[in-house]
Amino acid sequence: MLKKIFELRQAAYAYQPGENVFDSISFDVVAGESVAVLGANGSGKSTLLKMLCGLLHSQAGSFKAFGEAISEELLEDDRFAQRFHRRVGFIFQSSDVQLFTSRVEDEIAFGPSQLGLTEQEVKRRTADILKMLDIGHLRDRPPYRLSGGEKRKVALAAVLILNPEVLILDEPGAGLDPKSQRWLTHLLLELNRRGRTIILSTHNLEMAHTITRRSLVLSEDHRLVFDGPTQQVLSDRALLSRVNLIDEFTHEHDENRHIHLYTHG
């Protein structure tokens, strides 16, 4: 039997009273899955991911992670929160939100240094992750001086060094050039192949097609309208159009009728 990582049951969240993002949303994620959360801008993708990684707390219903009921009070316990965030790594849409030190090596070493590891072990882990992501040449650079793709690599390194079981990424391809997007895609596929659970939000259908096997689709009124194979939903143009992930328009050219498909990405 596959181990459940997350269990969300009739969960609700509102930033302001009476202005619910979610009224009642339910689904499970099991170990080793690769899941895309698809939806147009404003559909609630980022909010949902932050609920899964403990940055926001369901205001109704229930949320379990690794078989344990998770509450705001529980995550206020420093020891529990530390264990939880070692197991669940989160990559923000904007790397600038995540990076705060003046040197790349210090940025990557910060997480393990907070776990009480020896200085030698922290240095070993840092060297390993610098090599794994091929960013050793950035070691002494200030993160704020890096390109968008380089910042994303450093942000990933700062999370991966903790060896999380689950990697949650909010719009991971946003702002990346094609080469950096290809690098990121290969990395996520390899991490999933090695057993990491991958959950990512995106409105980039090509990225969802390449990386994930399951998709959760959110409508613009914040409802979960599809939960199933990524291949299946990507072939359902009616649904994708209804949730504003694609648009089609028809025109005539040289007496031929053409349909153009646009993806919002």
pLDDT at 259: 45
Q: pLDDT digits over 75-90, tens only?
A: 999 889 989 999 999 9
SS3 label, residue 60: strand
Q: Assign domain 4-97+164-263 one CATH number from 1.10.390.10, 3.90.228.20, 3.50.50.60, 3.40.50.300.
A: 3.40.50.300
Between CA 45 and CA 38 the distance in angstroms is: 7
Between CA 244 and CA 265 the distance in angstroms is: 11
Q: pLDDT digits over 10-62, tens only?
A: 999 998 877 788 989 999 999 999 999 999 988 999 999 999 999 999 888 99
pLDDT at 112: 86
Torsions phi, psi for 243 (to 5 deg): -95, 10
Torsions phi, psi for 123 (to 5 deg): -65, -40
Q: In the chain, where are the structural domains located? A: 4-97+164-263
**Considering the entire predicted model, what is its pTM?**
0.89
Nearest to 201, CA basis, from 6, 5, 39, 88: 39
Burial class (CB in 10 A: 0-12, 13-18, 19+), 144: exposed
| Structural tokens at position 21 | 């993002």
Between CA 120 and CA 109 the distance in angstroms is: 11
Q: Quickly state the pLDDT bin for 257 (edges 50, 70, 90).
A: very low
Between CA 260 and CA 109 the distance in angstroms is: 48
Largest pairwise CA distance in the chain: 73
Q: pLDDT digits over 75-129, tens only?
A: 999 889 989 999 999 998 888 887 888 899 999 999 888 877 888 999 999 999 9
- In this model, does residue 254 exceed pLDDT 70? no
- Looking from the CA of 22 toward its CB, the CA atoms found within 13 Å total 26
pLDDT at 256: 55
Which residues have a Cβ under 8 Å from the Cβ of 120 and sit 6 or more positions away? none
